[in-house]
Amino acid sequence: MKKLWHFLRTPSRRWSVLALILVGVGVTLAGTVGLHYGFEKTSSLEFCVSCHSMESTVYPEYKESIHFKNASGVQAVCTDCHQPKDFVGKVARKMEAANDLYQEYIGHSIDTQEKFEDRRLHLAEKVWARMSSQNSKTCKSCHSYDNMDHAKQSPAAALAMQDAAAKNMNCIECHKGIAHELPNMAGGFRATFASLKEAAQEAPAAETLYTLAEKDLYASEQSTEAVGKLLPASRIQVLARNGDRLQVSVEGWRERDGKGRVLSEYMGKRVFVATLRDELKAEEQVLKQQMDEATQIPWEQVRVQAWVDGKGLEPSLQPIWDYAGEMYKSTCNSCHAAPDPAHFTANGWISGLKAMSAYYRLSKEEERTLLKYLQNHAADTGGQGSH
């Protein structure tokens, strides 16, 4: 002990080792206290809403939510939802939040209400993605599945929460917009479509092409009167090119004994490829005939030739599916967790989507694209979206 005490008291040129240790302890304590105070201060509601962009936009929305004022008087402040409770998660979130300060005071991308609204969807998607990656652990720090009394919930809520608990679902899958206004969910996928449309002003060089949207079919290269229509995400084969017109072939299935004005992508499934008038039907070629075992209805696969203009065509189906998938997430995840497309059959999605039509605002063309995406990713079409 004497040797240890002597070592600790031995000067290091000017200071003893003991003095240096005491200084180190003091600096560590001061740093710890300072860090704790800094975390506490920057985690307060007052600090979070001190920025002008927060004060004029999300703070008023938050004050109208149940997280701000409720019957029990328990309030959840900004960091309860946006900042994990564990130390590592807290530090990581503080570092990420530095970008918010940059955008507010240097980048000036959210310092007015108009700018904030323009970026609301982007900002919301970043928060949702972060919460999803953490399995909504900030939500679950208060809302524990294990501690829920389903008998005190409404029957519908109890059924939904029991299913969510069994799957340990992400809270954010069903509870977007719980504290803030939902952004314009259509803004993202419509911007994606506009970008695809702008880039598809000329026909690609590929021989197999896919329709970005609905397209008119013409009987000849000079004709201006449509004799049919291609539906979104339909495949065509290029036979010839003349200026901005393409001669193409279209294949599909139809009931043998019906009028046959609509071609479907699969036998027995209402996944529509094109609608035809008599001028095109008269020139069609029957490729094969087959009995649908499920319904005992005879079908035949046919091929027709027609002309189309070269705009709005993609050499790959994937960009169209990416756009449609974005539409599905934006449209059907607003109110609840959207089911996996493989949850229904191709024909089942027709009534499934129709049942939800009162809750979304899509154009007829957008709705047809979304339906085609869901049907091609359905339980009985392989769930992969491939033709």
Report whether 332 belongs to an annotated binding site. yes
Query: At 20, which helix (H) or strand (E)?
Result: helix 17-42
Report whether 387 belongs to an annotated binding site. no
For the chain, how are helix, strand and coil distributed in percent, rounded to 5?
45, 20, 35
| Residue of 40, 8, 37 whose CA lies nearest to 22 | 8
Nearest-angstrom CA–CA distance, 185 and 141: 28
Residue 26 in tokens: 């003091």
Report whether 81 belongs to an annotated binding site. yes
Report whether 150 belongs to an annotated binding site. no
Report whether 48 belongs to an annotated binding site. yes
Report whether 171 belongs to an annotated binding site. yes
Nearest-angstrom CA–CA distance, 171 and 231: 36
DSSP state of 257: T
Report whether 143 belongs to an annotated binding site. yes
Residue 320 in tokens: 């169209």
Report whether 52 belongs to an annotated binding site. yes
Report whether 51 belongs to an annotated binding site. yes
Residue 4 in tokens: 């240890």
Report whether 335 belongs to an annotated binding site. yes
Nearest-angstrom CA–CA distance, 188 and 192: 6
- Contact present, 239 and 305 (Cβ < 8 Å): yes
Report whether 175 belongs to an annotated binding site. yes
**Residues flagged as binding site:** 48, 51-52, 78, 81-82, 139, 142-143, 171, 174-175, 332, 335-336
**Residues flagged as binding site for heme:** 48, 51-52, 78, 81-82, 139, 142-143, 171, 174-175, 332, 335-336
